Amino acid sequence: MPATPKKWLSAIALSALLLVPAGAAESPQIAVATEDHAALGNTLNHILNDPRLAGATIGVNVSKAETGETVYAHTDDLLLHPASNMKILTGIAALDSLGPDHRFKTDVSHDGRLNNGGVLHGNVYLQGRGDPTLLKSDFEKFAKDVKAKGVKKVKGDLIADATWYDDIRLSEDLNWSDESNYTGAAVSALTASPNTDYDAGTVIVNVNPGKAAGDPATVTLDPATDAVKIDNRAKTVAKDGRKSISIERAHGTDTIVIEGTIPAGATASRSWTAVWDPSLYALDLFKKALEAEGISISGGLKKGSVPAGAAELASKQSMPLRDLFIPFMKLSNNGHAEVLVKEIGKVSADEGSWDAGLNVMADVLAKYGVDPSAMRLRDGSGMSHKNLVTAGQLSTLLYGIQAEPWFPVFLESLPVAGDPDRMTGGTLRNRMTDGPAKGNVQAKTGSLTGVSTLSGYVTGADGEEYIFSILMNNYLAGSVTPIQDDIAEAIAGQ
């Protein structure tokens, strides 16, 4: 087991130099640094003395990547909300327990008899095992495969099987206000994504103006689906009118309500909106694909499970986890994180639930020098305001995993500061766009109301590689990311 980075450092030589940061008044611990990092410590304390952090709670840890030795610490033992830095823990657990080559599987099967005329007497099943990357084109490929087996008509139902995971689709701490947002999309073993960002369980709602003022707005969906209903209350107004469109799915329903005004000739308003039942969404896309291939369905769309002895019609394996980690971590995809928690539970404990997955996650994290009983794990994405970790624990984990054979996969998945490519720079593509941090800092961002975090790796000007974790909670300022960027740039210039 790797050594735990030291938390308590001698500050005697620095006591006359270091400022007490704005957030330190709430804690008896004063920020400290090793003697050979006195200048860095003084710089970081000066940065943290920003008035935007008045009253905030802050945890910062900077450690040497080679040894795990802490060189700067400011209340890094405070339990704080990590926001999407929680994905660091989820990602580590997934790579450790599933492996970078893990794939999700989707099957199409039937329980009937296919006669010489192409009539299938029985039900057709679409069985998901967690793949969050299924696109409209995948369902079209399934339909072509079914047609190639000689099926022309199904005298039975289309049945969605999502029983690989439990039937709890929303994590227990998800806010009511997030239910219809893509960031809070329901989790299911059978789901679909609208594009290659792979925001599973969402549909893109496009609102365009009508032909003239007074006309209803024009609404389209990508992909087109009957799994949701549209309640269009939006109106077209004159060209100089106000554009104000609201797109929200009514709680606990499959109805998307569109309200507001859009000027004639205006560009579209778009929203990635979470569907109510991802498995029926996927099944509807499959049905449309079958019909496009000329295959008719006499029955309805239902939910169930594949019976023993069902015959396979089509199958697909997803991209390996190493590839999924790019959109997952670069774009901070909440749905991927929650799917991974359930997949960890299913593969390791034969239970596809949050409880099982988080228990396995705790066991994995203990391997890397942290005590899981000294943190709180509530979900995989960081959406919960009940998750609690410390900056010191995050640095310890980032240190401990460096010897793992899958570490290059994890490192590559982290956003790169200032790189404009979405699948490289990710959520850091518009931050630290010049100076020593650009192209150097590789770190995971995190953001919730009153929470902003950044943890990862950076190489100093002296060639020393550092690990850092910055957790900021309970601030009232509009944004504190520039303060985090200043810290990362200071370490890069060390």
Residue type, 183: T
Q: DSSP string covering 275-320, please?
A: -S-HHHHHHHHHHHHHHHTT-EE-S-EEE--PPTTPEEEEEEEPPP
Give the pair of three-digit tokens for residue 142: 């399934």
In this structure, the number of other CB atoms found within 10 A of the CB of residue 100 comes to 18
How far, in Å, CA of 236 to CA of 242, rounded?
A: 10
Alpha helices (H) along 367-413? 391-400, 407-413
Active site residue 447: no
Q: Closest Cα to residue 402, out of 67, 21, 121? A: 67
Which DSSP category does 356 fall into? H
Packing angle, helices 334-349 and 354-366, rounded to 10: 80
How far, in Å, CA of 494 to CA of 489, rounded?
A: 9
Strand, helix or coil for residue 157:
coil
Packing angle, helices 86-97 and 354-366, rounded to 10: 80
Active site residue 318: no
Active site residue 87: yes
Give the pair of three-digit tokens for residue 99: 């492996």
Provide the CA 457 distance to its chain's centre, in angstroms: 20
Strands 158-161 and 301-303: parallel
Strand, helix or coil for residue 384:
coil
The answer to whether 182 and 205 are in contact (CB under 8 A) is no
Question: Among the options 84, 109, 271, 279, which is catalytic?
Answer: 84
Q: Closest Cα to residue 226, out of 203, 196, 245, 207? A: 203
How far, in Å, CA of 488 to CA of 443, rounded?
A: 10
Question: Among the options 63, 332, 395, 469, which is catalytic?
Answer: 332
Give the strands of the sheet with 269-274, arranged side by side. Answer: 218-222, 202-208, 269-274
Which residues are part of the catalytic machinery? 84, 87, 332
